[in-house]
């Protein structure tokens, strides 16, 4: 990945994160889960992911490198991020973190992601990283 492409990735992630206002699907659509593009500049993690994917494709990134990925966050709640496959490894675009990070530097436990060859199919992910928890002052 060239420096220009890296900077483009960072800029698009930040632009979409700043443009969309975080609102739950319950508040927007009256249902627990509903995947669509942002509505009136608002949405939850799925809307951020879909918008980032759309903007990156429009910028010339290959769709097969932009994989919607489902994870569990630090509260064990479901969360969607965009995995961008690069020659530098898989990078994560997230609405909860401004930095673009390698997948292994995020606090998430990855469950499944789109197949790069068949976007309607999902591939399970075996994330066997061990999380270490410590307390301060004990």
3-state secondary structure 97-130: CCCCEEHHHCCCEEEEEECCCCCCCEEECCCCCC
The average pLDDT across 25-31 equals 89
Q: Roughly what angle, to the nearest 10 degrees, separates helices 3-19 and 45-58?
A: 140
Determine the pLDDT at residue 57.
97
Distance between CA atoms of residues 90 and 110, nearest Å: 12
Question: Which run of H or of E encompasses 14?
Answer: helix 3-19
Question: Which run of H or of E encompasses 3?
Answer: helix 3-19
Decide if 69 contacts 114 (C-beta within 8 A): yes
User: Does 136 have pLDDT greater than 50?
Assistant: no
Determine the pLDDT at residue 133.
40
What the chain holds in terms of domains, given with CATH numbers, is 3-124 (3.10.620.30)
Distance between CA atoms of residues 22 and 49, nearest Å: 12
Determine the pLDDT at residue 124.
87
pTM of the model: 0.87
How much is the mean pLDDT over the chain? 89
Per-residue pLDDT band at 50 (split at 50, 70, 90): very high
User: Does 37 have pLDDT greater than 70?
Assistant: yes
In tens, the pLDDT along 64-122 reads 999 999 999 989 999 999 999 999 999 999 999 889 999 999 999 999 999 888 888 88
Q: pLDDT exceeding 70 applies to what percent of the chain?
A: 91
Determine the pLDDT at residue 129.
54
């Amino acid at each position: 990945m060239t420096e220009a492409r890296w900077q483009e990735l960072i800029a698009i992630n930040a632009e979409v994160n700043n443009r969309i206002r975080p609102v739950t699907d319950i508040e927007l659509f009256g249902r627990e889960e509903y995947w669509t593009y942002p509505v009136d500049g608002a949405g939850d993690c799925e809307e951020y992911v879909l918008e980032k994917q759309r903007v990156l494709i429009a910028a010339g990134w290959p769709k097969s490198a932009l994989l919607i990925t489902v994870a569990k966050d630090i509260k064990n709640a479901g969360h969607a991020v965009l995995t961008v496959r690069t020659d530098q490894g898989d990078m994560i675009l997230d609405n909860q973190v401004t930095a673009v990070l390698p997948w292994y530097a995020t606090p998430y436990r990855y469950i499944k992601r789109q197949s790069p060859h068949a976007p309607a199919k999902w591939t399970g992910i075996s994330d066997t990283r061990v999380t270490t928890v410590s307390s301060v002052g004990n």
